[in-house]
Structure 1
Amino acid sequence: MAGSGDAKPSAESSAKATEWRRESRFYRRSPGWGWLLGLLLIPLLFGWLGWSNLKPSVNAQLPSAGVTAPSVSAPSLNLSPLSILRNGNDFTLAGILPDLSVKNSLLATMKGALGPSVNLIDKIDVATGAKAPAFDGLDAVLKAAADIPNFNFTVEGGTLTLTGTAPSEEAKAAVEAAAKAGWPNLQLINNISVKGAAPSCDNLQATVDAYLAAPIKFQTGSDKLTKDGQQQLSSVVSAVTACPDVELIVIGHTDNTGTDAINNPLSERRAKAVSGFLVAQGIPADSVTSEGAGSTEPVADNDTEAGRAQNRRTEIKVN
């Protein structure tokens, strides 16, 4: 009798074995071109989807037919105050510059434009973080203003203000043209008057702001004006007295160093000192009032030395 190992397989078992071998051969089979093509196309598909998500933001910057592209305005300038005031052959420089190299560059430009005999009175403060304008156009402006003995050039924020008394309309226009060419990105206020013409009081506030661009000097921790501060205010008096019936509000400000208990009274006393000087110089007492704002109205960042210097200021508002 034959052993169990010699028994012939049944038809059902033979079918199952055949089916198993077919399935086994199917799963062990190496991938064909279809699989390889799929592996290549999947990364490309994901890349295309990623580009589709980015595409609207890119296209949004490009104008299409019938669609107006949004305008992008240039950031506004915030230059630190700088003023050049002429009194005959004397040129007083006041304001805030970032370092000595920039200050020396300004002094060299002035001497190059005006000659070695010019008397430069240096009242510039150096403070980290200050922003200075370019001096490339200064030579042309100073030469155009050669016949304006009381010429004043002031830059602050994004504004350039010109004041003084020109001998003619042509001289006034020449200074303005030189200033526009030198600083085309600044707003220009030309408050230069013409000799013999009636003074214009339309831009008196801009003229006063130009004279006060550099903070008025007080003795340290005091409400007593320095000689420089008095000279600065004398220019304001000349401008205001030419425009009668105006009212002035003097506002004192401090930086945020110290406490309100110190800053508020100090700002009030300094405002009163300025208003008292204006009255002593001939401005009617009933047209001048004063107040102190302490450190509540900064115009610059109190976290920088230059910003704190700008915030220690005295405003004069014209009504």
Structure 2
Amino acid sequence: MQMLNFVKIPTLLLLLQVISINAQLNYPNTVVTIVIDPLFLKSKDENGNVDKNEFSARLESGEYYSTNKCCDVFREVAQSSVPGNWKKYRCIDVNSEIMTTNKNSAVLKVVLNLKFLYTDEKEFNKSTIARTIMNNLNNGNSSEVLANNEYMGIATVVWVETNAIDVFSNKPTSSPVTNAETVVTIVTKTNFFRWRDAKGGIQIGNFLAQSDSGEYYSTNKCCDVFREVAQSSVPGNWKKYRCIDVNYEISMNLGDTVILQMMSDIQFIYSGIKKFNNWTIYGDFWEKMKRPTFKEVYHKNDFAGFDYTVSVQTTTPNNFPSKPKRSSVTNAETASVKHI
């Protein structure tokens, strides 16, 4: 009888463990995975070597500390960019490599993986998280941390996944995508000089854009200014094109003159999954912006500076409506370097 009880008790415990595990596996979790590819300028030592594991991060108290984990540098930015109430957080340095080198310095690229686990199914917008990251990287506090590490630029990749198992695996998982589409989005943030009229008013929607024939035309859409450059910078055979001005603000008041800042989204949608390189598109766009023909556009519109990002994302249909809807995103990459 004692032997029978001895067998039954472990069996019951094992059964309870199995029930508990099954309950966990059947309960949906949401994992937000952020993969960041920052570039740093690193000085060589007297022997010509580069220390790939020397970084400066900041505590919540504001104090700086030395760390051999690059992902610690971006902890504050990442945690302030995702929705709150996550249960677990993890960051790892996946890889690092020297990109270019000269006599005294080298450019180091590090691949980081930051994950946030939520214990139920959430409807998070990947684009919102990606944009929040880029905005947080440009604020004063983050700029100081990055400057201390001689940061040069970044590419941000954001996965938003719903997983029931293996939620903290090293490689992001994704659900099968049917009828997938690839969307290239160029987000421009452009500053313009504007002069007040006799009544102190400012013209917001007054821009000059170039038609395919090279002639100028007046438009109330800022994104039209970049149409020709954008269309010549992305791969061909896109099936839809859209440009919208998202918002505007007066970023600086100079008396009779103000700085008008416009944010615009330019999107190209392709059928199927395309392996486009966001940095290639970014570089092509920048080279086109430097052409003499566009410099003329630059002067005609009284540019005061600009910043832009390029993202490539694979998604299921319905990611291209005028109002964003929830979509199943398998990956998204954003390239961004600030230009003034």
Band of TM-score, shorter chain: under 0.3
Query: Which one has more relative contact order, counting CA pairs under 8 Å at least 6 apart?
Result: 2
Which structure is higher in helix share?
1
Structure exhibiting the larger radius of gyration computed from Cα positions? 1
Higher strand fraction (1 or 2): 2
TM-score by length of 1: 0.25
Relative to the length of structure 2, the TM-score reads: 0.24
